[in-house]
């Protein structure tokens, strides 16, 4: 498979690389330290069309594909992961469910504003007792027989982009009934921000991703019209499995970007920092560390691009997406640790980007399916007993 980028994809890569270095890099450290959402940067990303990359032009998108999204995420994450995860969640989790499963009316209502970055969407899946076991959903949605409205009750946690000033909606998974054998029947329902009974908690105090928005959500007799059902009733479980499969490619691209950013910063520091009379980059111990880091980042890139290419071509990609996510997240943690070691005491100082990368890396082995879940998926795709 040819992994060379097309001229269009290469132009996108250079554009986002320039934006990341010229706009994001000089400002994001202050936002990160203040735990503040970077509205100005996000608005600029919207004007660039990044939130509309994989969506059709008829809905305000750029007419691109998932490979284009991954390229943008990798280049952003080479500089900062908070900005990258805001884009990833806004596209893969916020807008993609509407694109894949929404009615024409739902697409016309929401996608143009999501593609432009005017509003952000969020995906309410995880709950306090339903993380990796997403089938353990406790949130419920019951039809009011008089009005036909859905009445939603429950709690969601760790939801990205859910409490910003520009959040427009959250797609919530909820139990809407039971199957013949008593298993929960899960559906997806659109809940617009500001709906009575829908409250958003204060931002979490997080180890990393400090310039991104992550909240707990509460639904207390939240009423939305019957038309807010996303897709077919009872198909919510299958829908979010599809969303997570695709999202793993996006997270793999983001993780690859962080891993490559660690290489970038380590090379720069190793050329400048002197010890025992010469630059530390001249010592074999440092050279070997950086060489291994580059090898891992390169291999991770091949993995996510392969999975994305399969998705774009309409081929099966579940196993490849799981492998890409598992490997790239592991590499991100490894490279962040080594980059911090190369920087020595300065790597422990927040003024250096590698300190931010170290703090941001660990969540990549957890979000969008833990490393353990990825291994389960790979084993199943190989035909091993479940």
pTM of the model: 0.96
> Is 185's pLDDT higher than 70?
yes
Is residue 8 among the annotated active site residues?
Answer: no
Pairing type for strands 167-178 and 120-124 reads: parallel
- Residue that is last in its domain, among 210, 233, 256: 233
> Is 346's pLDDT higher than 90?
yes
CATH of the domain at 107: 1.10.540.10
Q: Mean pLDDT across the chain, nearest whole number?
A: 96
How far is C-alpha 257 from the geometric centre of its chain's CA atoms? Answer: 13
More confident residue, 209 or 351: 209
Same domain, 242 and 376: yes
Residue whose C-alpha is closest to residue 299's, from 252, 264, 265, 246: 252
Q: Where are the beta strands (DSSP E) in the chain?
A: 120-124, 140-143, 150-160, 167-178, 184-192, 198-200, 214-224, 229-230, 274-275, 278-279
Same domain, 199 and 82: no
Indicate whether 386 belongs to any domain.
no
> What does the pLDDT read at residue 131?
73
Same domain, 69 and 91: yes
CATH of the domain at 226: 2.40.110.10
Q: Which of 216, 246, 365, 368 is catalytic?
A: 368
Same domain, 219 and 281: no
pLDDT tens for each residue of 239-296: 988 999 999 999 999 999 999 999 999 999 999 999 999 999 999 999 999 999 999 9
Indicate whether 284 belongs to any domain.
yes
Indicate whether 265 belongs to any domain.
yes
For range 172-181, the mean pLDDT: 91
Measure Cα distances from 49 to 43, 129, 218 in Å: 10, 37, 32
Confidence of residue 218 (pLDDT cuts 50, 70, 90): very high
As for how many domains the chain has, the answer is 3
Range of the domain at 13: 7-120
pLDDT tens for each residue of 35-94: 999 999 999 999 999 999 999 999 999 999 999 999 999 999 999 999 999 999 999 999
Same domain, 261 and 305: yes
């Amino acid at each position: 498979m040819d992994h060379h980028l097309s001229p269009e994809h290469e132009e996108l890569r250079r554009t986002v690389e320039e934006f990341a270095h010229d706009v994001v890099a000089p400002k994001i450290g202050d936002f990160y330290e203040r735990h503040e959402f970077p509205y100005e940067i996000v608005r600029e990303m919207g004007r660039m069309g990044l939130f509309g990359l994989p969506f059709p032009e008829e809905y305000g998108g750029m007419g691109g594909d998932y490979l284009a999204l991954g390229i943008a995420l990798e280049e952003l994450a080479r500089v900062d992961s908070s900005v990258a995860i805001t884009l990833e969640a806004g596209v893969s989790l916020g807008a993609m469910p509407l694109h894949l499963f929404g009615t024409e009316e739902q697409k016309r209502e929401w996608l143009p504003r999501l593609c432009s970055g005017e509003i952000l969407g969020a995906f309410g899946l995880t709950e306090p007792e339903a993380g990796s076991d997403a089938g353990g959903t406790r949130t419920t949605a019951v039809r009011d027989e008089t009005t036909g409205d859905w009445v939603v009750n429950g709690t969601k946690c760790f939801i990205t982009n859910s409490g910003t000033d520009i959040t427009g909606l959250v797609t919530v998974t909820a139990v809407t009934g039971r199957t013949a054998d008593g298993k929960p029947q899960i559906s997806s329902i659109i809940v617009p921000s500001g709906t009575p009974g829908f409250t958003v908690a204060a931002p979490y105090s997080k180890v990393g991703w400090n310039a991104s928005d992550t909240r707990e959500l509460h639904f207390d007799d939240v009423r939305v019209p019957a038309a807010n059902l996303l897709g077919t009733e009872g198909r919510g479980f299958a829908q979010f499995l599809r969303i997570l499969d695709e999202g793993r490619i996006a997270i793999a691209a983001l993780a690859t970007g962080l891993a490559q950013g660690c290489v970038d910063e380590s090379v720069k520091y190793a050329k400048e920092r002197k010890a025992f009379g010469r630059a530390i980059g001249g010592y074999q111990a440092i050279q070997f560390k950086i060489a291994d880091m580059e090898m891992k980042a390169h291999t991770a890139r091949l993995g996510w691009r392969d999975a994305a290419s399969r998705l774009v071509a309409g081929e099966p990609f579940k196993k490849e997406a799981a492998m890409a996510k598992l490997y790239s997240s592991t590499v991100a943690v490894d490279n962040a640790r080594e980059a911090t070691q190369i920087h020595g005491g300065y790597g422990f100082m927040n003024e250096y980007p590698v300190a931010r990368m170290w703090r941001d890396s660990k969540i990549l082995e957890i979000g969008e399916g833990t490393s353990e879940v990825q291994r389960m998926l790979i084993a199943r795709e190989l035909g091993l007993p479940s």
